[in-house]
């Protein structure tokens, strides 16, 4: 008998933002193929009775390729097991979840998608930034910065992106940040547009670097910004306040202007 696959989003990290449905299917799974993005706080709660397969991208010999991951997932499901494919954030936002569903469908394997809280919205929220706000932005665009924007065959329409008003949220953009800011200003985007970079959002070691389009790349270099990080470009960044997040109030202090749930406080 064929098993079943649950394609599960873990949220941005921190067990508080894992959905109840995700917790339920994880706890009942016989096999879990997990990425590293969900983070230690969640990965340390995976049930010991399940076969745990690390699908993290490390570079080098220990990395499973996408087709190997899909082959393992199919193999376990076709041998009748309950399989969870666990991904960071939401499985359908830059998580290759779409491709995995295609493979399961093509092979007649039943599948359930368990959406997750996406980092694209939750991580800016963690530092007080609403990706839309009537005063600042009535639209938000989410893109991957993974591709070199200088490549002529870039799948992204950089000229159109530079002309858009509203908020631009960039995932996987740390490595190409310099090229991205250059191409946006080159196509006429205001060099003084505010930018915030949030590293490891909603995790204990979250860090924020701010600037404007023309200097953020320099600030990021100085600060040694590393992935995973969310880059937010637009006037909504004005909502960021260093003293505002109040996510982890200092010891013994529990009054804060704004609290964002989900991040564990101890």
Q: Choosing from 4, 54, 172, 215, which is the catalytic residue?
A: 172
SS3 231: strand
Measured distance CA(192)–CA(107) in Å, rounded:
51
Rounded Cα gap, residues 101 and 66, in angstroms = 13
- Piece in contact with ligand SAH (CB under 6 A), picked from 22-30, 105-113, 193-201, 244-252: 193-201
* Annotation says 172 is catalytic: yes
Give one DSSP letter per residue of 83-116, joined into a string: EEEEESB-TTSSSSHHHHHHHHHHTT--EEEE--
Nearest residue (CB) to ligand SAH, 78 versus 248:
248
Is residue 115 close enough to count as binding ligand SAH by CB under 6 A? no
Q: Answer for the pair 28, 3: CB distance below 8 angstroms, yes or no.
A: no
Q: Is 202 in the site for ligand SAH (CB under 6 A)?
A: yes
Inter-axis angle of helices 177-186 and 216-223, nearest 10: 170
Decide: helix, strand or coil at residue 89.
Answer: strand
Binding mask 218-237 for ligand SAH (x = CB under 6 A): ---------xxxx-------
Binding ligand SAH (rule: CB under 6 A), the pick from 8, 22, 88, 131 is 88
The smaller minimum CB distance to ligand SAH, of residues 50 and 121, is found at 121
Question: From the CB of residue 178, how many other CB atoms can be counted at a distance below 10 Å?
Answer: 14
Residue nearest to ligand SAH (CB): 89
Selected from 41, 95, 100, 167, the binder of ligand SAH by CB under 6 A is: 95
Quote the CA–CA distance of 21 and 221 in Å, as a whole number: 40
Interatomic CA distance for residues 222 and 219, integer angstroms: 5
Query: Which member of 18, 34, 83, 90 binds ligand SAH (CB under 6 A)?
Result: 90
Catalytically annotated residues: 35, 57, 172
Chain residues that interact with ligand SAH, rule: CB under 6 A = 12-13, 37, 87-90, 93-95, 118-120, 123, 171-172, 198, 200-203, 227-230
């Amino acid at each position: 008998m064929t098993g079943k696959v649950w394609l599960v989003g873990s949220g941005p990290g921190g067990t508080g933002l894992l959905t109840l449905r995700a917790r339920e299917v994880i706890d009942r799974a016989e096999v879990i193929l997990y990425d590293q993005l969900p983070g230690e706080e969640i990965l340390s709660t995976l049930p010991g009775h399940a076969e745990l397969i690390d699908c993290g991208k490390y570079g080098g010999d220990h990395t499973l390729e996408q087709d190997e991951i899909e082959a393992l997932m199919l193999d376990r499901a076709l041998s009748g097991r309950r399989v969870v494919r666990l991904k960071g954030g939401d499985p359908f936002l830059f998580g290759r979840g779409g491709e995995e569903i295609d493979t399961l469908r093509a092979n007649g394997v039943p599948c359930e998608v368990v959406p997750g809280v996406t980092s694209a919205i939750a991580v800016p929220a963690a530092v007080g930034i609403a990706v839309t706000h009537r005063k600042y932005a009535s639209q938000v665009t989410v893109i991957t910065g993974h591709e070199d924007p200088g490549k002529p065959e870039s799948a992204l329409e950089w000229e159109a992106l530079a002309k858009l008003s509203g908020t631009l949220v960039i995932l996987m953009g740390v490595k190409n940040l310099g090229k991205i800011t250059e191409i946006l200003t080159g196509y006429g985007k205001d060099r003084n547009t505010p930018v915030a970079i949030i590293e490891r959002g909603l995790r204990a070691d979250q860090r924020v670097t701010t600037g404007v389009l023309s200097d953020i790349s320099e600030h990021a270099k100085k600060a040694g910004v590393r992935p995973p990080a969310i880059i937010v470009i637009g006037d909504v960044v004005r909502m960021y306040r260093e003293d505002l997040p109040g996510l982890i109030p200092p010891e013994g202090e529990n009054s804060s202007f704004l609290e964002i749930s989900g991040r564990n406080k101890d």
